[in-house]
Amino acid sequence: SQQGEEDPQALSIQEGENATMNCSYKTSINNLQWYRQNSGRGLVHLILIRSNEREKHSGRLRVTLDTSKKSSSLLITASRAADTASYFCATLEGGYQKVTFGTGTKLQVIP
Amino acid sequence: EPEVTQTPSHQVTQMGQEVILRCVPISNHLYFYWYRQILGQKVEFLVSFYNNEISEKSEIFDDQFSVERPDGSNFTLKIRSTKLEDSAMYFCASSEARIGVTEAFFGQGTRLTVV
């Protein structure tokens, strides 16, 4: 299996609803990050959570990290049409100077 | 707001030709990276660069690839003898400290099409 697999692969919700995306990983990590990518565009850093943190908030975003289960979740509250994008988790593995991206969740928010 | 800029935004090249993808990282950043994303697939790490040398590279980054920081502001990725399977979006990134410790800033990407 790959480091960093998100589920679901695709998610479609109505504007105003909450969206939850999950990420699982295999090896021990220093931290985990979430990125957003609009179709055909660059990657935008959303939030970083360190391995010793359990939960972090940034605006409408809430990220949790469970290192015992090697999983993380990204919650977007009160979604907007502009949140439509692909969301990737990315992990920094211990001792390595690279970030490994997951497969991504494609979120569609219907106005 | 400072940003990473990449040029060109789209490059079409003949198979077997050499291409150079250019990036201007954020000026006070010390770490530079190239990633690629084949259409519909995940973002893959290629190489990281610090203090004028490669600090880490993936299996993808073979002898066909090279990176350079020719003049203190640009950071380039050269692909020699391009193959069809090199068609992808290539992202440059930079960070102030080690990636993952502080956030990395990504450029908008160069879409490379090999025909």
The Cα of B103 is separated from the nearest Cα of chain A by a number of Å equal to 7
Q: How many residues does chain B have?
A: 115
CA–CA dist B92, B6 (Å, integer): 7
CA–CA dist B36, B44 (Å, integer): 5
The Cα of A49 is separated from the nearest Cα of chain B by a number of Å equal to 10
Partner residues linked to B111 by β-bridges: B10, B89
User: Picking from A87-96, B39-48, B66-75, which range would have the lowest pLDDT averaged per residue?
Assistant: A87-96
A10 and A109 in contact (C-beta within 8 Å)? no
* Alpha helix ranges (H) inside chain B: none
User: What 8-state DSSP symbol labels residue B84?
Assistant: G
Low-confidence ranges of chain A (pLDDT < 50): 1-2
CA–CA dist A89, A105 (Å, integer): 9
The Cα of B86 is separated from the nearest Cα of chain A by a number of Å equal to 17
* Alpha-carbon distances of B16 from A1, A52, B76, B78, B88, rounded to whole Å: 33, 48, 19, 13, 16
> Can you give the pLDDT at residue A97?
66
> Can you give the pLDDT at residue A1?
38
B58 and B45 in contact (C-beta within 8 Å)? yes
Hey, which residues 82-111 in chain A have their CB within 8 Å of chain B? 88, 90-92, 96-104
- Find which of A74-78, B25-29, B56-60 is predicted with most confidence, using mean pLDDT: A74-78
* Residues of chain A contacting B26 with CB distance shorter than 8 Å: none
> Can you give the pLDDT at residue A86?
94
> In the predicted model, what is the mean pLDDT of residues B96-104?
74
* Partner residue opposite B55 with nearest CB, options A33, A91, A97: A97
Pairing type for strands A61-66 and A55-58 reads: antiparallel
Owner of token pair 């992808």: B88
Return the closest-CA partner of residue B33 out of A93, A99, A32, A44.
Answer: A99
> In the predicted model, what is the mean pLDDT of residues B45-68?
93
> Can you give the pLDDT at residue A2?
45
> In the predicted model, what is the mean pLDDT of residues B2-21?
95
Partner residues linked to B68 by β-bridges: B76
Q: Nearest-5° angle of CA A50, CA A52, CA A55?
A: 70
